Each structure stands twice: as C-alpha cells, then as structure tokens.
Amino acid sequence: MRINKGIPLAISLVLFALQFFIKTANINMWLNILLTLVIVWFFLWFMDIQTTGGPKKKEKKIEIRPKAKPNRVKHMQNQDK
C-alpha cells in the first residue's frame, strides 16, 4: 500500500498542536504520554517514507521460455510416414 508522505506528517503536526490544548485542560498525564508516543510514531513513519521513498513496487516476474524450433514439426511429420 502506498501512502502519501504528507499524511503522516500532517497527522503528527495536528496531534502535536492538539497536545498543547490537552495540557492546558489538564485532563490526564497518561493521555499526554500516549499522545506523545503516537506523534513520534507518525513522525518516524514520515521520516521512513521520506528516506526510503515508500514501499517498493514489485518487479515483473521474468518468464524464461524455450526457443521455438521451426523445423521440429516438419521433422516429426516426416518420421511418422
């Protein structure tokens, strides 16, 4: 699955901005820790896509076929007679 590299970056930036509002509301310390881990995960995912270029496309499978022998049918007909 290919994903646009801007999506994880946008998610991490939005969650980073959201984290400041949650801190001011003083809801829960564990929620802030969890949110920080999610932000770091999305940012590292963005960095991985940025450096590697995302998932690699599968290469075409090369099929090796034997070479057709043009006189083979002619010789087989002569042997049957």
Greater model confidence, 40 or 27? 40
Residue 33: the pLDDT is 83
Distance CA 19, CA 29 (A): 11
| Reported pTM | 0.57
Residue 36 domain-assigned (yes or no) = yes
State the Rg of the chain over Cα. Answer: 30
Give the count of domains, the chain.
Answer: 1
Domain of residue 18 covers 1-51
pLDDT at site 38: 92
* pLDDT attached to residue 74: 65
State the pLDDT at residue 26.
Answer: 60
Q: What is each CA distance from 24 to 16, 48, 67, 77, in whole angstroms? A: 13, 32, 74, 91
Helices vs. strands in the chain: H and E counts, helices first: 3, 0
Tell me the per-residue pLDDT of 38-61, one tens digit each, with 9 for 90 and over: 999 999 988 888 888 766 677 888
Separation CA 34–CA 28 (nearest Å): 10
